[in-house]
């Protein structure tokens, strides 16, 4: 391996490390800030043990000045001389105390600065993330508007939820003859491609799931009603709020998208739905009918709402 190849590999490794550090800089700054705060407190405690020694020396010097003022004549040691000596003593004491606590104070300030810097970086990233979601949401809504304008709402619905017609046969009894006959029917079903990126499985890995389909349905209905009550009361609701009440971990996207309660606007549903009663999904029908204990929940979020809230 020649020098050029070695330099190229070293350069790539350097940039890779730099990118990793930049990516995780908020976490690094927070950890450094917390550790620095703890160390700063320890240094302050250690410094406090030495304060008594400094104050004892100060008291001895001050007492000596007062004794000289009492025992010596005005010509040998005047009040002005005593005042000057006291100023020197107090200044020296202040300097010693400042020097004693300087490391802990400086480290504490640096630690707080690190935590604030981390918060600032995260805030800027959230602003950028919100802007990106808002742009994507706007483009998606414009696209859907064009589809509706050209092909109609039915086609838009089929494309959005990947709805396909599924044919099946069933045996029915003819009302006139009383004989059984086989008829062909079809039903619209939602394919897996129609599930949004915010969907979550409510199954045995969820802490609120039970081996009882009726209980699971009751729990989800209660949480959906509660979410709608919160939406009406607050006027907004983040997807992470719903994730938390259902037992799911919050996500970055969940802190940006959600619902707004604005009945006067047509671009908002004005209600929260978990997709439990989506008749176009076979799994949802089986869950409601008690044949399945688990279900894939999908949420009808209005889109990014973070930028619509007041500061």
- Between 252 and 3, whose confidence is greater? 252
Residue 15 reports pLDDT greater than 60: no
Confidence of residue 209 (pLDDT cuts 50, 70, 90): very high
Residue 210 reports pLDDT greater than 90: yes
The total number of residues shown for the chain amounts to: 311
Q: Quick one: average pLDDT of 276-291?
A: 83
Show the 3-state SS of 97-116.
Answer: HHHHHHHHHHHHHHHHHHHH
Residue 229 reports pLDDT greater than 60: yes
Residue 222 reports pLDDT greater than 80: yes
Per-residue pLDDT at 169: 61
Residue 128 reports pLDDT greater than 70: yes
Q: Quick one: average pLDDT of 151-161?
A: 68
Query: Please, what is the average pLDDT of the chain?
Result: 80
CB-based contact 219:204 (threshold 8 Å): no
User: What percent of the chain clears pLDDT 70, i.e. is strictly above it?
Assistant: 78
Q: Which residues contact 132 (CB under 8 A, 6 or more apart)?
A: none
pTM: 0.47
Q: Is the dihedral of CA 15, 17, 21, 23 positive or negative?
A: positive
Highest-pLDDT range among 17-26, 65-74, 122-131, 296-305: 296-305
Q: Is the dihedral of CA 107, 108, 112, 113 positive or negative?
A: negative
Among 127, 124, 159, 154, which Cα is nearest to 140's?
A: 159
C-alpha pair distances (Å), 73 with each of 68, 81, 118, 221: 9, 12, 64, 94
Residue 256 reports pLDDT greater than 70: yes
C-alpha to C-alpha distance for 35 and 24, rounded to whole angstroms: 17
C-alpha pair distances (Å), 161 with each of 66, 196, 198, 220: 91, 9, 14, 22
C-alpha to C-alpha distance for 194 and 290, rounded to whole angstroms: 23
Residue 19 reports pLDDT greater than 70: no
Residue 31 reports pLDDT greater than 70: yes
Query: For the ranges 24-38, 145-159, 214-228, which has the lowest average pLDDT?
Result: 145-159
């Amino acid at each position: 391996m020649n020098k050029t190849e070695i330099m190229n590999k070293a350069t790539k490794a350097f940039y890779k490390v730099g990118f990793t550090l930049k990516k995780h800089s908020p976490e690094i700054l927070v950890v450094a800030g917390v550790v620095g705060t703890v160390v700063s407190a320890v240094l302050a405690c250690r410094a406090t043990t030495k304060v008594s020694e400094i104050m004892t020396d100060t008291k001895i010097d001050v007492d000596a000045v007062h004794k000289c003022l009492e025992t010596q004549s005005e010509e040998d040691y005047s009040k002005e001389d005593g005042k000057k000596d006291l100023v020197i003593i107090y200044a020296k004491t202040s300097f010693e105390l400042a020097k004693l606590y300087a490391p802990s104070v400086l480290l504490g300030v640096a630690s707080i600065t690190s935590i604030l810097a981390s918060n600032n970086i995260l805030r800027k990233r959230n602003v950028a993330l919100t802007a990106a979601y808002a742009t994507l949401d706007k483009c998606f809504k414009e696209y859907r508007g064009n589809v509706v304008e050209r092909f109609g709402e039915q086609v838009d619905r089929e494309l959005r939820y990947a709805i396909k017609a599924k044919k099946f046969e069933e045996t029915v009894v003819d009302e006139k003859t009383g004989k059984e006959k086989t008829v062909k029917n079809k039903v619209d079903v939602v394919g897996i491609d129609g599930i949004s990126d915010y969907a979550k499985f409510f199954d045995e890995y969820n802490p609120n799931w039970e081996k009882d389909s009726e209980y699971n349905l009751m729990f989800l209905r209660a949480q959906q009603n509660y979410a709608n009550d919160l939406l009406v009361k607050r006027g907004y609701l983040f997807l992470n709020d719903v994730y938390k009440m259902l037992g799911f971990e919050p996500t970055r996207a969940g802190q940006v998208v959600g619902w707004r309660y604005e009945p006067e606007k047509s671009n908002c549903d004005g209600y929260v739905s978990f997709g439990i009663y989506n008749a176009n999904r076979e799994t949802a029908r089986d869950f409601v009918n008690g044949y399945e204990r688990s279900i894939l929940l999908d949420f009808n979020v209005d889109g990014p709402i973070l930028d619509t809230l007041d500061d």
